[in-house]
């Protein structure tokens, strides 16, 4: 009996050591990303699951025929790979575990020092959008530590979890729970001087049927 139990447990663990991590995406969001410090602009396609925001993928053009894919599960791992094909409809992609790296947010503890402020709606191109600010609670310490803030403009008519690519911002959202769901149409990051050094503006949204699988063994 003891021998049978040992064999059964061994087989159970052997089976569970080999499994796939499967992720599905239902929207492609194309943003114009501007780096004011480098005076550069880049177009980025983000892929999201509208019901979950703990993972995302982005694809950026590397050459005429090759794109660079970056995937992050904010709680587990990241994956980098060069791919070819149509970014508007990536279909199903499978990657070996060797292309992944373990990921953990080493600054997770900092999230409790931030708050999310809901502001009055703002008008963009004749339409009202929600506006929220992620900022440090202690204003004096923020100035001393040269800590900036993030501003998000959100279309709340779109039913989706907000795309928060920065892991600390995601943790701030998880702790505060007062940011409205919706589509982020603009994102602006300010330095401690109150100057914008990074902006993202939505230029295209489309539904997709994109699946990504990571073969773990």
89 assigned to some structural domain: yes
13 assigned to some structural domain: no
Question: Pick from 208, 217, 215: which is nearest to 56 by CA?
Answer: 208
56 assigned to some structural domain: yes
Do residues 113 and 173 share a domain? Answer: yes
What CA–CA distance (Å, rounded) separates 122 from 128? 6
pLDDT mean over 129-147: 96
Domain that holds residue 54: 18-31+46-105+206-216
3 assigned to some structural domain: no
**pLDDT the model gives residue 13:** 42
12 assigned to some structural domain: no
Do residues 139 and 189 share a domain? Answer: yes
Whether 84 shows a pLDDT value over 90: the answer reads no
Do residues 115 and 92 share a domain? Answer: no
Question: Pick from 157, 166, 90: which is nearest to 127 by CA?
Answer: 157
7 assigned to some structural domain: no
CA dihedral 38, 43, 47, 50 (to 10 degrees): 90
- Is this prediction's pTM over 0.75? yes
């Amino acid at each position: 009996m003891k021998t049978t139990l040992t064999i059964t447990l061994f087989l159970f663990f052997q089976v569970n050591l080999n499994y796939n991590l499967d992720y599905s995406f239902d929207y492609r969001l194309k943003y114009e990303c501007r780096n004011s410090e480098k005076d550069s602009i880049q177009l980025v396609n983000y892929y999201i699951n509208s019901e979950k925001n703990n993972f995302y993928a982005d694809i950026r053009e590397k050459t005429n025929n090759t794109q660079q894919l970056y995937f992050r599960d904010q709680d587990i791992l990241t994956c980098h790979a060069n791919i070819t094909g149509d970014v508007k409809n990536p279909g199903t992609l499978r990657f070996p575990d060797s292309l992944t790296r373990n990921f953990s947010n080493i600054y997770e503890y900092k999230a409790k020092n931030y708050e999310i402020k809901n502001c009055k709606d703002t008008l963009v191109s004749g339409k009202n959008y929600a506006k929220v600010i992620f900022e440090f609670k202690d204003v004096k310490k923020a100035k001393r530590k040269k800590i900036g803030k993030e501003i998000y403009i959100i279309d709340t008519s779109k039913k989706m979890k907000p795309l928060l690519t920065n892991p600390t911002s995601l943790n701030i959202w998880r702790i505060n729970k007062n940011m409205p769901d919706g589509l982020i149409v603009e994102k602006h990051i300010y330095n401690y001087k109150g100057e914008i050094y990074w902006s993202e503006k939505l230029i295209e949204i489309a539904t997709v049927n994109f699946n990504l699988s990571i073969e773990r063994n």
